[in-house]
Amino acid sequence: MKNKDFFSSKLVYVLVSLFFALVLFFNANAVILKTSNARTNSSETHSVTLYDVPIELKYDSERYFVSGYDGSASVYLTSYNLVRLNAEKSKDTRSFHLVADLTKLKEGTVEVPVRVVELATGVNAQVDPGNISVTIEKKAVKTFDITPVVPEKLLPTGYRIKNISIDSNTVSVTSGASLINQIDKIQAVLPSDVILDNDYSGKVSLQAVDKTGKILPATLSPAAVNMKVDVELPTKTVPIVGKIMGKKDSSIDDFTFKLAKETADVSGEQKFIDKVSSITANIDVTNITKETVVKVPLSADNVKTSPNVIEVTVTPVKKQGAS
C-alpha cells in the first residue's frame, strides 16, 4: 500500500514539473518571437514615388536660351525613417530639388544628368529619367504682332462673330537664335472648352507657332492677353403679316393698311427661330374713322424681333351712304 502511494506521488510530481516546463518553454518562445518582430519592424524600408518633380536648369540665361527638354521627372524615395520620408514627400516640407547643370556645356543638343541635391539624411533617391536632352542656343529677342484666333467649332450652329478685341497688340518674344526665325506668328487662341453662345471676356494664353501651326518654345511677354469676343445670335428674315383686330365703328365697312416695313429679322437659339415663318402685326382699328398712322408692336415666342415696332397707315372704307 505504501509503495503504491509512493509511486502515485512521484507521478504527480513528474506531471506538474512537465506542465511548468512547457509553460516556461512557450513563454520564452513568445518573448523571442516578439523581440524578433520588433527588430524586423524597426528595420522596415519605406518607399514612395513622386511624379512631376520640376527640374531646375543652371545656365547663363542672359546669353543662352534652352529648349527641347522635359521640365520634370519622377523621383523614387526610400528610407527606414518614415517621418523623414513623409517630409520629403510633401511639396511644402521637401528639402531636396532636382538640378541639371548646363554651365560648362557648349551650344547644341546635349545629354545632361539630373541630380538630386539637398536630400535629407537617411533618405535615398532615384530619378527617372536620369538624363535629359537639351538644346542650347544663343538668346534672341523680337517683337511680334498678336493674332487673335477663335476656332469655328466653338460657335453653335447659326452663331457668328461680330467683333474680336484684345488689350495688347504686340508681344516681346525671347527664344533661340534659330527658333525665333521659324516663328510665323503669335496667336491668342480662345480655349477649346469655351462655348460661344454668348459674348466672351477673359484671359487667353499666347503661343508662338510656325507656318504649319506647330507650337515653338519661346518666352512671351506678356504671356497672356485679355480677349473679348462679341457674337450674334442666329438670325433670319421673315415677312410681316398684318391682321385687323378690334371693334369697327358702325360707319366703317372695312379697312385697308400699308406697312412701313414688309419684313423683320428674328434672332435667338436656332431651334426657336426655325419655328418662326412670319411675324404677325396685330392692327387695332378700334375708334379709327379716318386715315391714321398707328404704331404696332412685333413679337414672337422665344426670339428677339428687329424692328420690334413698325408704323402702319390704316385707311377706313366707309359704308355706302355713311357720311
**Above 70 in pLDDT, residue 18?**
no
Lowest mean pLDDT among 42-46, 111-115, 314-318: 42-46
User: What whole-number percentage of the chain has pLDDT above 90?
Assistant: 74
pTM confidence score: 0.64
For residue 166, CA distances in Å to 145, 170, 191, 219, 232 come to 11, 10, 15, 19, 18
Give pLDDT, residue 307.
Answer: 95
- Cell output for 124: 535615398
* pLDDT tier for residue 271 given thresholds of 50, 70 and 90: confident
Structure confidence by residue, pLDDT tens digits, 52-97: 999 999 999 999 999 999 899 999 999 999 999 999 999 999 999 9
Structure confidence by residue, pLDDT tens digits, 237-250: 999 999 999 998 88
Mean predicted confidence (pLDDT) in 107-130: 95
b/e map of 64-90 (b: 16 or more CB within 10 Å)?
bbbbebeeebebebebeeeebbebbee
**Above 80 in pLDDT, residue 259?**
yes
Give pLDDT, residue 7.
Answer: 46
* pLDDT tier for residue 129 given thresholds of 50, 70 and 90: very high
The residue type of 121 is T
Give pLDDT, residue 10.
Answer: 58
Mean predicted confidence (pLDDT) in 277-303: 94
| Residue that is written with C-alpha cell 519661346 in the block | 218
Give pLDDT, residue 233.
Answer: 86
Structure confidence by residue, pLDDT tens digits, 145-188: 999 999 999 998 878 899 999 999 999 999 999 999 999 999 99
**Above 60 in pLDDT, residue 23?**
no
Cis bond before residue 191 (omega within 30° of 0): no
Give pLDDT, residue 320.
Answer: 77
The residue type of 233 is L
* pLDDT tier for residue 216 given thresholds of 50, 70 and 90: very high
Task: Please tell me whether residue 61 adopts helix, strand or coil conformation.
Answer: coil
Lowest mean pLDDT among 32-36, 188-192, 198-202, 218-222: 32-36
Return d(Cα 246, Cα 284) in angstroms, integer: 5
Nearest Cα residue to 233 out of 182, 270, 284, 264: 270
Give pLDDT, residue 31.
Answer: 42
